[in-house]
């Protein structure tokens, strides 16, 4: 039986980077071992799933709209993201997402590298995201 944990309990991780790669629509094409460990999903559950499988409901839509606009425009995006694990715990990451290009310089996907977010950055972003969510509702 799966353990159900309230979404206000944080999962703390340390160590190596979480790496994933997606196609143009955000469907996961690669997930490293750390991503599986931290998200609580097996690799075969992640591959082919949309990256929003780990989206926490506390994340404002506007934050992701800005991210998509930036990476689809060919630029790198960096920001803090609160993610939801399979078991209901959440975790914060400092993310950098960059476009992957083919030999013709066309964007063919995206790669993301994520590390543990600092407590200071988390506290600053919690308040910002809360205010953004209020305007969305």
Q: With bands split at pLDDT 50, 70 and 90, how would you rate the model's confidence at 12?
A: low
pLDDT tens for residues 40-91? 999 999 999 999 999 999 999 999 999 999 999 999 999 999 999 999 999 9
* CA distance linking residue 105 with residue 102, whole number of Å: 5
- Max CA distance (Å), the chain: 49
What would the two tokens of residue 115 be?
A: 């590390």
pTM of the model: 0.86
Q: What is the mean pLDDT of residues 12-24?
A: 87
What would the two tokens of residue 120 be?
A: 């200071």
* CA distance linking residue 36 with residue 43, whole number of Å: 6
What is the pLDDT of the chain when averaged over all its residues?
90
pLDDT tens for residues 95-137? 999 999 999 999 999 999 999 999 999 999 998 999 999 998 7
Domains for the chain: give ranges and CATH numbers: 18-136 (3.30.450.20)
Cα torsion through 39, 45, 47, 53, rounded to 10 = -50
């Amino acid at each position: 039986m799966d353990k159900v944990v309230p979404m206000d309990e944080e999962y703390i991780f340390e160590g190596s980077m979480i790496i994933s790669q997606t196609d143009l629509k955000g469907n996961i094409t690669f997930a490293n071992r750390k991503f599986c460990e931290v998200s609580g999903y097996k690799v075969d559950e992640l591959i082919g799933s949309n990256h929003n499988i780990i989206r926490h409901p506390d994340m404002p839509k506007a934050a992701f709209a800005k991210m998509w606009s930036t990476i689809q425009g060919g630029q790198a995006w960096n920001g803090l993201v609160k993610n939801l694990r399979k078991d209901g715990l959440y975790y914060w990451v400092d993310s950098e997402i960059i476009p992957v290009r083919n030999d013709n310089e066309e964007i063919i996907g995206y790669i993301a590298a994520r590390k543990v977010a600092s407590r200071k950055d988390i506290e600053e972003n919690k308040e910002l995201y809360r205010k953004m969510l209020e305007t969305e509702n």
